[in-house]
Structure 1
Amino acid sequence: MSTPSKRPLGRPVQQQDGLPTSRHILQTASRLFMAKGFEAVSMNEVADQCGVTKATIYYYYPNKTELFVASIAATLSEVNGRIAEVLAQSGSFQDRLIRITENYLKIPQVHVNGMFAQVKRHLTDEQLQTLIRHENDLYETLKEGFAAAMREGEITAGDPLLAAHFYVSMLRAGERQYDQANKLFPSEREAAAAIVAFLWRGIHV
């Protein structure tokens, strides 16, 4: 008679809120990485914030680098989906850009490019390409938004992909609002309106 196989150490049950444990781990880890950067986050902290054991984290992700790549890729994919949803809504392109910008600024974060530079030495080529692919997907979604606005005659921009990159670069100014000693804007809404207004002067017909 065969002996029943044992469940792997750390294998978790589903969270009480119905969210799969693996998804809960990714969301928590992404929030920590985006707020603190790669080096400052430990697997212990992720486990504590998730309310699970460290063995549970290791069941899904064998090391911090794997967790980082999976969590940031998932976040970029989610952000991309939300941007696509807003772009598909009715209203002017300017209003939709303001909504996208405000949503982005509501999440205190270290800038993705800076974080990638910090963690790059820990990544394999395949892991780095995974993150680059997800980031490029986001730019492609924004590019399509700018291109559609051009076709509708709302804006004039010679290269919609370049416009998307300029827009994302301008979002960094809004992040300064989280430096309490040097606020540029009193609120995310005012920051979003100011950033898009500045961009609009360069692309509006």
Structure 2
Amino acid sequence: MKKKQRALGRPRKEQGAMATEEIILHTATGLFLEKGFQHVSMDDVAKKCNVTKATVYYYYKTKTDLFMDSMIKLMVRIRERSSAILSTDEPLKTQLFQFASAHLKATVDIDINTFMKEAKITLSQEQMEEMKKAEDALYNELESALTRSMERGEIRKCNPRLATLVFVNLLTVKNSMDESYQNSFDSVEDLAKELVDFYWNGLAGGN
């Protein structure tokens, strides 16, 4: 009986399809964050994963598709971590510090502003909308936490959406720091504390 030929690029069953896809996605995310979209090829991803290029193309038809999935999954991981932090009974300032620390650690090697500009050039309108949904989900978690704190009287009432955007953008200030100034902070936590203190003085009136 003639053996049925498997589809080109399809990984062998014993490899574990889900495991292979996860390895490709995890590896590609690291490469994109390290080198940027333009400087990463599908061949680079395949070599790093120790699989054939056909295997990478089996899961992702284009590098753009792989990039989009990588970034969305990254945002989802950050959101899930942030959601866990913001759903605790800790005081808001403690939550903001933990949020800032987690966010800075997740983006320590990324110039977010440059990275997103590159994404806008690379991705289609539909793909950008998918990324925006993932980004908005993160903002919504923080906005809800700020709103709850306002309702409890922990902080003064203001526009919670604006307060959310200001805080998230404040965390990108490290992209404007030169290396020597970044190194003046002993750790990510030290930078997070200074940023949160600066933000808190305006949000809570210095209390």
TM-score (norm: length of structure 2): 0.86
Q: Confirm or deny that 1:160 pairs with 2:143.
A: no
Q: Confirm or deny that 1:14 pairs with 2:13.
A: no
2: CA distance between counterparts of 1:106 and 1:82?
12
Residue in 2 that maps onto 1:40:
39
Partner letter of residue 85 of structure 2? V
Change over 3 Å in CA distance of 1:175–1:152 after alignment to 2: farther
Change over 3 Å in CA distance of 1:49–1:83 after alignment to 2: same
Determine if contact 1:38/1:118 at 8 Å carries over to the other structure: yes
2: CA distance between counterparts of 1:149 and 1:25?
41
Q: Return 5+ residue gaps in structure 2 as ranges.
A: none
Change over 3 Å in CA distance of 1:9–1:174 after alignment to 2: same
The count of corresponding residues between Structure 1 and Structure 2 is 200
Residue in 2 that maps onto 1:105:
104
> Could you report, residue by residue, the CA deviation over 1:101-155 in whole angstroms, capped at 9, with x for unpaired residues?
1112223232334223223233222111111111111111111111112122221
Partner letter of residue 85 of structure 1? A
1: CA distance between counterparts of 2:138 and 2:160?
13
Q: Cα offset for 1:163?
A: 0.8
Q: Return 5+ residue gaps in structure 1 as ranges.
A: none
Which aligned pairs between 1:43-62 and structure 2 lie closer than 5 A?
Answer: 43-62=42-61
Which aligned pairs between 1:61-76 and structure 2 lie closer than 5 A?
Answer: 61-76=60-75
Q: Cα offset for 1:4?
A: 4.8
TM-score (norm: length of structure 1): 0.87
Determine if contact 1:105/1:188 at 8 Å carries over to the other structure: yes
Deviates more, 1:65-74 or 1:4-13: 4-13
Q: Confirm or deny that 1:140 pairs with 2:140.
A: yes
Q: Confirm or deny that 1:151 pairs with 2:181.
A: no
Determine if contact 1:139/1:164 at 8 Å carries over to the other structure: yes
1: CA distance between counterparts of 2:69 and 2:157?
35
Give the secondary structure class of the aligned counterpart of 2:126: helix
Deviates more, 1:39-48 or 1:185-194: 39-48
What RMSD in Å do the two structures reach over aligned CA positions? Answer: 2.2
Partner letter of residue 197 of structure 1? D
Deviates more, 1:187-196 or 1:41-50: 41-50
Residue in 1 that maps onto 2:194:
194
Give the % identical residues.
34
Q: Give every structure 1 segment of 4 or more consecutive aligned residues whose post-TM-superposition deviation is greater than 4 Å.
A: none
